[in-house]
A and B are shown apart, each in its own frame.
Chain A
Amino acid sequence: MTTATHAAGRTGAAARKPATMAQALNQALRDALANDPAVHVLGEDVGTLGGVFRITDGLTKEFGEDRCTDTPLAEAGILGTAVGMAMYGLRPVVEMQFDAFAYPAFEQLVSHVARMRNRTRGTMPLPLTIRIPYGGGIGGVEHHSDSSEAYYLHTPGLHVVTPATVEDAYGLLRAAIASDDPVVFLEPKRLYWSKAQWSPQEPSEVAPIGRAVVRRPGRTATLVTYGPSLPVCLEAAEAAKEEGWDLGVVDLRSLVPFDEETVAAVVRGTGRAVVVHESSGFGGAGAEIAARITERCFHHLEAPVLRVAGFDIPYPPPMLERHHLPGVDRILDAVGRLQWEEG
């Protein structure tokens, strides 16, 4: 049984095994709504339409408008009212329509969602899930392709997770909804229709939040990545065989908590690491990951930890985005700079 199908008491899963990430997310929401009356879905167009990405398709029909609610169009209001609902003991799951349209909710997220447990000495935790479709590669026009994870992972009190496979989409979302901490759940929108399923190397886990997974073992260098960049890294690892490199790939799945143990153990084994993500490199998740690898693995490293990230530019228009997104060549180029001659 995989991570996904094992999560949080799911019943009758085998018969309806989702084929895409979008279906898996929909199934996770449906099962969460069915299993726990405290779960409420709210957002823009999540009702009759089923969301602009159809992730909430059919939920209002099945569970009624009180459980899956079309809200007024106001992101701070959506998250702010969800905070109040969570204060009362419900388990709201809010949908932000796009990465860049979650910014109006930023104050609620940083000043309240992230702090309420701490502020009240644990007496008022907020079991809230904030789903945000993120990242580029879908040909979106301005404001539809941001990778906003760095804003969130820099905020203590939030968990930040992002699935890259169909199974993880299901399992991580169930775990996020079941969590008593607020979870920013970043959905790589260009993988919504991907059918890629990788069984984790590890035995199945009920709640995978905070656990990285090795997607591909490799002896000579490690690619550390997450979300939309996982398929690119796996492709790069495949292509690297021609160069004689045996690249491993670690999928973080969870940026906060960050699974330092798994990453450090893998990188100690290879002595070389490249961190890959789509969002801008400066001040990004990769900077933190590279620093932690260096601190933890210094004596095992054969080369500095490199980063392959988006450029430090506002997200490009769709006709130019391919130059911005880390691709196989850019990853292999970085791998080539890992001081092989001295190794």
Chain B
Amino acid sequence: MTVLDTPAWRPRTDAAPLLPDPEPYRLLGTPEAAELDPALLRALYGQLVRGRRYNAQATALTKQGRLAVYPSSTGQEACEVAAALALKPQDWLFPSYRDTLAVVARGVDPVEALTLLRGDWHTGYDPHTHRVAPLSTPLATQLPHAVGLAHAARLSGDDVVALAMVGDGGTSEGDFHEAMNFAAVWQSPVVFLVQNNGFAISVPLAKQTAAPTIAHKAVGYGMPGRLVDGNDAAAMHQVLTEAVERARTGGGPTLVEAVTYRIEAHTNADDATRYRDDTEVAAWREHDPIALLERELTSRGLLDDALRTGTAADAEEMAASLRERMHSDPHLDPMDLFAHVYAEPTQQLREQQAQLQAELEAERQS
């Protein structure tokens, strides 16, 4: 034996096929778009319009004091919607705080999706109902969860794919690296979707990474990286669907970088004028996901008045229901604070619960 025969010596994977396209992949407005199924385009359109309306409504709710905070995904609706639509019912979605729209598009009631941001509890939905993990706030920490769940499903022989969402800033976190590495080593059925919206609060991507693109990082782990126009709903849907299918059929994980833009400030509490120029925002408004899709639908004669008004009415109905239900005060039971810390509360917790109960009783009497 020589060193050339030892496992350490030879590359394990051919790097070239893993490399992303040099430019973000686009479909809308290209000749290939003519092949796209009209039903899919209409469905995407309906979801985007609904998503835009949802973002506007949620932002309005912050102004009315009904949400503690809202990180808007306005401008990123194509990513959010495509993530939800690329999955089958048995698959799992792992969202971040910015991804309540994807959660809603997957079928969770908007009121339940917004519970964290309203502040009456941390997670408002049973994750098992729609197979949506709790919204994750500590950046990138949800990524290893997705890998572990997908790994467990594969070990169990189940047909389940996990799709995990993270921002561009989150890719600098150690958990991003560890999740990518575990997924590739284990060949877990996972798709990582990075929404590169240009900023991590105020910090631009250039200060996060010196990699050619985020998608290139995939190559270092031995998985394919895909670079996509994140405002092209059809391209997003196609690339994510392919990645999910690849994972489902034993092909292992994929990293998808969606190049998009955060049109609003980081949250309603942020002032974006301190760190970015309006001209940049204006440029991205010209590359709006809904406008791009409308153009395609129009050029193919698919956008008639019925679709337009029907879609708008549906979005309005969702917003009205959300507004109305968010305007009533949520039911709060302080005893819930102790109910789920452990399967059985400890003696100390029972004593503390009794103390709070007595305090509340005294408050009621006075």
What is the distance, in angstroms, from B95's C-beta to the closest C-beta of chain A?
14
Interface size on B, residues (CB 8 A): 41
Residues on the A chain within 8 Å of B153, using CB:
88
CA distance A179 to B138 in the complex (A): 26
CA distance A290 to B217 in the complex (A): 52
A83–B340 CB distance below 8 A:
no
CA distance A111 to B155 in the complex (A): 26
CA distance A84 to B146 in the complex (A): 6
Residues on the B chain within 8 Å of A12, using CB:
none
B145, CB-defined interface residue at 8 Å: yes
A258–B348 CB distance below 8 A:
yes
Q: Contact partner of B138 among A89, A107, A122, CB < 8 A?
A: A107
CA distance A159 to B342 in the complex (A): 9
Return the chain A residue nearest B183 by Cβ.
A81
A104–B174 CB distance below 8 A:
yes
Q: Contact partner of A119 among B122, B162, B185, CB < 8 A?
A: B122
Return the chain B residue nearest A123 by Cβ.
B126
B336, CB-defined interface residue at 8 Å: yes
A84–B138 CB distance below 8 A:
no
B208, CB-defined interface residue at 8 Å: no
* A122-B148 in contact given A72-B181, A111-B138 (Cβ < 8 Å): no
A281, CB-defined interface residue at 8 Å: no
CA distance A257 to B123 in the complex (A): 26
What is the distance, in angstroms, from A50's C-beta to the closest C-beta of chain B?
21
Q: Contact partner of B182 among A71, A121, A210, A258, CB < 8 A?
A: A71
Q: Contact partner of A66 among B133, B150, B155, B347, CB < 8 A?
A: B155
Give the interface size bracket for A toward B: 35 or more
What is the distance, in angstroms, from A294's C-beta to the closest C-beta of chain B?
15
B342–A181 CB distance below 8 A:
yes
A222, CB-defined interface residue at 8 Å: no
A84–B181 CB distance below 8 A:
no
B178–A90 CB distance below 8 A:
no
CB contacts under 8 Å to A, within B140-195, are 141, 143-153, 155-156, 162, 174-175, 177-179, 181-182, 185
CB contacts under 8 Å to B, within A181-228, are 181, 210
Residues on the B chain within 8 Å of A66, using CB:
155
B141–A80 CB distance below 8 A:
yes
Write out, one digit per residue, whether chain B residues 119-130 have a CB within 8 A of any chain A CB (1) or not (0): 001110011100
Residues on the B chain within 8 Å of A111, using CB:
138, 141
Return the chain A residue nearest B138 by Cβ.
A111
A157, CB-defined interface residue at 8 Å: yes
What is the distance, in angstroms, from B127's C-beta to the closest C-beta of chain A?
5
B346, CB-defined interface residue at 8 Å: yes
CA distance A180 to B344 in the complex (A): 10
B152–A88 CB distance below 8 A:
yes
CA distance A154 to B342 in the complex (A): 15
B346–A258 CB distance below 8 A:
yes
Residues on the A chain within 8 Å of B179, using CB:
77, 80-81
A10, CB-defined interface residue at 8 Å: no
CA distance A181 to B155 in the complex (A): 23
CA distance A120 to B162 in the complex (A): 19
Return the chain B residue nearest A118 by Cβ.
B340
- Grouping DSSP codes into helix (H, G, I), strand (E, B) and loop, the A interface class, with mixed when no group exceeds half, is mixed
B342–A87 CB distance below 8 A:
no
CA distance A17 to B348 in the complex (A): 36
CB contacts under 8 Å to B, within A42-84, are 66, 71-72, 74, 76-77, 79-84
CA distance A123 to B115 in the complex (A): 15
B148–A84 CB distance below 8 A:
yes
CB contacts under 8 Å to A, within B214-231, are none
B51, CB-defined interface residue at 8 Å: no
* A77-B144 in contact given A72-B185, A84-B149, A84-B151 (Cβ < 8 Å): yes
Return the chain B residue nearest A67 by Cβ.
B155
Residues on the A chain within 8 Å of B128, using CB:
123-124
CA distance A200 to B144 in the complex (A): 41
CA distance A112 to B177 in the complex (A): 18
Q: Contact partner of B346 among A89, A107, A116, A256, CB < 8 A?
A: A256
A76–B346 CB distance below 8 A:
no
Residues on the A chain within 8 Å of B122, using CB:
115, 118-120
What is the distance, in angstroms, from B161's C-beta to the closest C-beta of chain A?
13
A3, CB-defined interface residue at 8 Å: no
A121–B340 CB distance below 8 A:
yes
CA distance A102 to B301 in the complex (A): 60
Residues on the B chain within 8 Å of A79, using CB:
144
A286, CB-defined interface residue at 8 Å: no
B343, CB-defined interface residue at 8 Å: yes
What is the distance, in angstroms, from A117's C-beta to the closest C-beta of chain B?
5
A85, CB-defined interface residue at 8 Å: yes
Return the chain B residue nearest A108 by Cβ.
B141
B341–A84 CB distance below 8 A:
no
Return the chain A residue nearest B94 by Cβ.
A84
What is the distance, in angstroms, from B273's C-beta to the closest C-beta of chain A?
32
A81–B127 CB distance below 8 A:
no
B203, CB-defined interface residue at 8 Å: no
* A257-B147 in contact given A77-B181, A111-B138 (Cβ < 8 Å): no
Residues on the B chain within 8 Å of A248, using CB:
none
A246, CB-defined interface residue at 8 Å: no
Q: Contact partner of A84 among B152, B178, B340, B343, CB < 8 A?
A: B152
Most buried by B among A77, A92, A111: A77
CA distance A181 to B344 in the complex (A): 9
B178–A89 CB distance below 8 A:
no
A316, CB-defined interface residue at 8 Å: no
Return the chain A residue nearest B184 by Cβ.
A72
Most buried by A among B145, B181, B343: B145
Most buried by B among A82, A84, A157, A261: A84
Q: Knowing that A72-B182, A257-B347 are A-B contacts, what are 7 other residue pairs whose CB atoms are under 8 Å apart, sorted by A's residue number? A: A72-B181, A83-B145, A107-B138, A117-B343, A121-B126, A121-B339, A210-B346
7 contacts between A and B (CB under 8 A): A76-B178, A81-B182, A86-B148, A88-B149, A108-B175, A121-B340, A180-B343
User: Could you list which residues of chain B lie within 8 angstroms of chain A, going by C-beta atoms?
Assistant: 121-123, 126-128, 133-134, 138, 141, 143-153, 155-156, 162, 174-175, 177-179, 181-182, 185, 336, 339-343, 346-348
Please give me the 8 A-B residue pairs with the lowest Cβ-Cβ distance, nearest first: A84-B148, A80-B144, A77-B178, A81-B148, A88-B152, A84-B149, A84-B145, A119-B122
